[in-house]
Structure 1
Amino acid sequence: MDTIRVERDARGVATLWLARAEKHNALSAQMMTELEAAAGELARDATVRVVVLAAEGPTFCAGGDLAWMREQFGMDAETRKRESRRIAGAMGALAALPQPLIGRIHGNAFGGGVGLAAVCDVSIGASGIRMGFTEVRLGLIPANIGPFVIARMGAVRAREVFMNARIFDADEAMRLDLLNRVVAPEDLDAAVEAEVAPYLTCAPFAVREAKALLNELAGRVTPEQVDHAIEALAIRWQSDEAQEGISAFFEKRKAPWAG
């Protein structure tokens, strides 16, 4: 795999690294396909007890890859729906991991990067992180990640940031339930390790079954929700606003509504 890498240690801890540091780990079509495949492989590996989701470089994930967005600009609705399923597939595969998934979140996390933090069972953030659902600035909507972030945040908290593209810091992300804890950047690895360690004292398949039970009792993201979100984004792409917003972004000018 070219855009991610997986490390395993003797304890049964696997670290899934986003490995496009030079692109701020933006979610390209290839990365999303590779994330889904890697998550599926880890899910089937009985020797893996805990998974850590981390990122190389200064940025956790800048959101959707610009080249991927540019390609979608000229696609028809059905092709865009197929492309949308890439990110829905990656998010769904990570959310479906039977092992606990611990997020190591640092730098910036925008759009799809927030979605990745949201699918983790526990997300530990470095102070100084900046997060936001920036899609509406472009005339788009945070649709494909929507079911997962709302399952994490709840509708009341999501209403504060889901529709206004406001950038928020680590402390607010914790208040919004997107992060569980915030630590100094130099303490991030130790904090992740402290989160991982208790699982290694537990019966591994009891942990898996406890997670499965929790998911059933809390309510999983459904295929119908994912389909609805994909359809909503496809419709939004067809709008004059989206076409103007994406054009303005690539032409490095303000959209008409930017003020």
Structure 2
Amino acid sequence: MQYETLGVAFADHVATVTLNRPDVRNAFNEKMIAELTSVFGLLDTRDDVRAVVLTANGKAFCAGADLNWMKKMAGFSDEENRADALRLAQMLAAIYRCRKPVIARVNGDAYAGGMGLIAACDIVVAVETARFCLSEARLGLMPATIAPYVIRALGEQASRRYFTTAEAFDCATALRLGFVGEAVPEDKLDATVRQIADSLVTNSPNAVRECKRLVQDVAGRAIDEALIEDTATRIARIRASDEGREGVASFLEKRTPAWRAA
């Protein structure tokens, strides 16, 4: 898996995808967007991958859109702008919809679209010094394609503020608002991410996939008869699955489940 703007590495059932444009603070352009869409689509199909870490080289996580790319977009027609925006939206969807849990290892600042990348992930671990900003309004723009993910992660009330003020905020604020799940010193970042990844790969791969899908499907839905029926169907189906049967049997027999030896 060779890419111009990304690094991809594999170890112990974990794939690490690294944004690799540190000279521009890992800002994304059309090439990075295409490569991120591609790599998450491929990782989604690999049975040997049970978790994905998304991180970056350099001091910043992602500064959002590359300025040269934005300059080029200024001359696009309406149709070209729509197509370009759709590619960005599809990249975010590829991360969000990836059936493997995705950990954002936030090694530094995340601005604009960089916050969208983080919000599309499932688990967020950030260095305490990271700063965050939805800066689009300063440029006469709005964070439209990232909005479905950021609003879910940041919350509606906080999104109203930071979308419109374009204020930067620190990691402590991001942690308080729930955008970041865990904030750690730089020297603890790798160990913390590794511990979470180890927990993920220890569990049933099928159960992890289904749990991720469950949260996405249930969040925000009314607790009505349709939802009650849906959740009952899901647990009945997974109880009868191969890994469901193996998990219960291994627990009762006090042995290691088969997926840990795979």
Deviation sequence 1:83-123 (CA, Å, 0-9, x none):
11121111110000101110100221000101111111110
Cα shift at 1:153:
2.0
Assess if the C-alpha contact under 8 Å between 1:7 and 1:16 holds in 2: yes
Match of 1:4 among 3, 6, 13: 6
Q: Does 1:119 align with 2:113?
A: no
Alpha-carbon distance between aligned partners in 1 of 2:112 and 2:177, rounded to the nearest angstrom: 15
Cα shift at 1:157:
2.3
Identical-residue share of aligned pairs (%): 38
Alpha-carbon distance between aligned partners in 2 of 1:211 and 1:55, rounded to the nearest angstrom: 24
Alpha-carbon distance between aligned partners in 2 of 1:138 and 1:214, rounded to the nearest angstrom: 35
Q: CA RMSD in A?
A: 1.2
Cα shift at 1:161:
1.1
Q: 1:219 to 1:86 in 2, by over 3 A?
A: farther
Query: Partner residue of 1:36?
Result: 37
Q: Does 1:70 align with 2:66?
A: no
Matched residue type, 1:122: I
Deviation sequence 1:192-244 (CA, Å, 0-9, x none):
11111111221111111111111111159xxxxxxxxxxxxxxxxxxxxxxxx
Higher-RCO chain (CA-CA 8 Å, sequence separation at least 6): 1
Query: Partner residue of 1:181?
Result: 182
Assess if the C-alpha contact under 8 Å between 1:32 and 1:86 holds in 2: yes
Alpha-carbon distance between aligned partners in 1 of 2:91 and 2:220, rounded to the nearest angstrom: 19
Query: Partner residue of 2:103?
Result: 102
Q: Does 1:212 align with 2:216?
A: no
Question: Equivalent residue of 1:64, what SS?
Answer: coil
Q: Does 1:197 align with 2:179?
A: no
Alpha-carbon distance between aligned partners in 2 of 1:51 and 1:90, rounded to the nearest angstrom: 15
Deviation sequence 1:128-152 (CA, Å, 0-9, x none):
1111000100111111111111122
Aligned length: 219
**Structure 1 alignment gaps of length 5 or more:** 221-259
Matched residue type, 1:70: K
TM-score between the two structures when normalised by the length of structure 1: 0.82
Query: Partner residue of 1:55?
Result: 56
Deviation sequence 1:33-91 (CA, Å, 0-9, x none):
10000000000111100100010111100110111100011111111111111211111
Question: Equivalent residue of 1:178, what SS?
Answer: coil
Query: Partner residue of 2:87?
Result: 86
Alpha-carbon distance between aligned partners in 2 of 1:167 and 1:104, rounded to the nearest angstrom: 19
Alpha-carbon distance between aligned partners in 1 of 2:188 and 2:179, rounded to the nearest angstrom: 19
Q: Does 1:26 align with 2:27?
A: yes
Query: Partner residue of 2:239?
Result: none
**Structure 2 alignment gaps of length 5 or more:** 222-262
- Structure 1 stretches of at least 4 aligned residues deviating more than 3 Å after TM superposition: none
Question: Equivalent residue of 1:207, what SS?
Answer: helix
Matched residue type, 1:4: L
Assess if the C-alpha contact under 8 Å between 1:131 and 1:167 holds in 2: yes
Q: 16-25 vs 32-41, which deviates more?
A: 16-25
Assess if the C-alpha contact under 8 Å between 1:111 and 1:135 holds in 2: yes
Larger radius of gyration: 2
Q: Does 1:149 align with 2:178?
A: no
Alpha-carbon distance between aligned partners in 2 of 1:21 and 1:185, rounded to the nearest angstrom: 18
